[in-house]
Amino acid sequence: MKVKNKSTKSVFLFSLLLLLNACGKKEEVPAAAPVPQKEQATEESHIKEVELNEAQYSSAGIALGSFSPKNLSEVLNANGYTKLPPQNQADVSVFVSGIVKSIAVIEGQNVRKGQVIATIESPEFTRIQQDYLISKSNLEFLKIEYERQRILSEEEVSAKKVFQKTKAEFEIEKTRFASLGRQLQTMNIKPNGGAVSSVPVVAPISGAITEINMKIGSTVSPGLALLSIVDNSKLHVDLLVYEKDLQKVKTGQNVRFVLTNQDNAEIRGKIFSVGKAFENETKSVAVHADIENEKQQLIPGMYVNALIDVGANTVNALPTAAVVKAEGREFIFILEGVHEENNKPDTKEEISHDQQKGHSHDDGHAHKESGKSYHFQRIEIKTGTAQLGYIQVTPLQQLPDAAKIVVKGAYYIQSHLLKSEGSGGHEH
């Protein structure tokens, strides 16, 4: 019986130990790892801020702007070139042969209509003046004779045949005299002035000298272009539109274009005429558009890429340089604020104190100096259609009213952000 009692106690103690061990394991489960806190930290890491000091801001060439309403969907793409109407171009020539005595302009110089641009010397000028004066004297004599013969004819003193002959001579000389006077005026010679052997050549239009085909002492002939002048104030754009799109194009539609070999500055225009025939064998029609903003330095023959607005669906757009791509997503930066900083150490003790602590100002992020500090926030966006250097942008969060968006220099701010993160910089 004693042996049986000992066996029962052993079984009881073993069962009690198993029970206590099981209870101890259940109490360890509630102390699980803080998973929600990690997810929360991940969400907060999406909101990132960057701080630049005044020197960094200036050297990066950052430009601020806002959304622009653009028609990026209902448009036609077209290529073309800048063109000048023929009435705004001039070739200057002379009416008689002569020798170049002086040249008063150089290529690229702006001139006014009527301004003297050269002087030509020729004996023909003296000869025409002489003929003019002789004709003037003959006309005075014939006029008197005509009046005398008219009176005699009316009184039937002399034959009408004599009067008719005198009248014809008078009319011929009057015509010759007027013709010589117009020739002198064309040559810029005063008909009633003194005899001259050289005359000025004047600009027929206002504009810029593009080409000079003469030099001092060279011989010039009638019909030979001495120089060329262009007036670029009436410059317009000729766009080539193909047959399949022609029915969509109408006068009055807005046009936006950029220069092929220049920056992405947008130039605006408006269609004023649509061609009525194909250009050569290209099966395209020339569409003529006026240029509205003439601040660009345009010259004839520049190639352009253009968009013709054939609809009225506008979207919020930004320059493509304002959008940066990172982590498989797209972002823009907005300026949160500008703060005045004055945190330079004033004493040697403060400087040595920083050195003893091992603080380094070259840690990859913007350290504060005296001056201004610029704070930017990165905003996630979705993009749409892109045309002529602009892209449709939809922010994924509400932006402040009148938000100042970085339209130039966004990639510098993004690289600064990555550099700060890689060197342990702050992330807000």
pLDDT tens track for 223-262? 889 999 999 888 899 999 988 888 888 898 889 888 766 6
Question: Parallel, antiparallel, or unpaired for β 284-291 and 236-242?
Answer: antiparallel
d(CA 119, CA 98): 10
Mark whether 240 and 372 lie in a shared domain.
Answer: no
Whether 309 and 387 have beta carbons less than 8 Å apart is answered as no
Mark whether 216 and 117 lie in a shared domain.
Answer: yes
Q: How many domains, the chain?
A: 3
Q: How many CB atoms lie within 10 A of CB 56?
A: 18
Q: Identify the CATH number of the domain in which residue 398 sits.
A: 2.40.420.20
| Amino acid 16: pLDDT | 53
Q: Identify the CATH number of the domain in which residue 156 sits.
A: 2.40.50.100
Mark whether 330 and 270 lie in a shared domain.
Answer: no
Crossing angle, helix 160-186 and helix 123-154, to 10 degrees?
150
* Residue 387 falls inside a structural domain: yes
* Residue 415 falls inside a structural domain: yes
Residue-wise pLDDT tens digits, 298-346: 888 888 888 888 876 788 899 989 999 988 899 999 998 888 866 544 4
Mark whether 217 and 97 lie in a shared domain.
Answer: yes
DSSP string, 109-134: -EE-TT-EEEEEE-HHHHHHHHHHHH
Mark whether 245 and 291 lie in a shared domain.
Answer: yes
* Residue 10 falls inside a structural domain: no
Mark whether 286 and 385 lie in a shared domain.
Answer: no
pTM, 2 dp? 0.54
- Which structural domain, as residue segments, surrounds residue 275? 75-84+235-309
* Residue 24 falls inside a structural domain: no
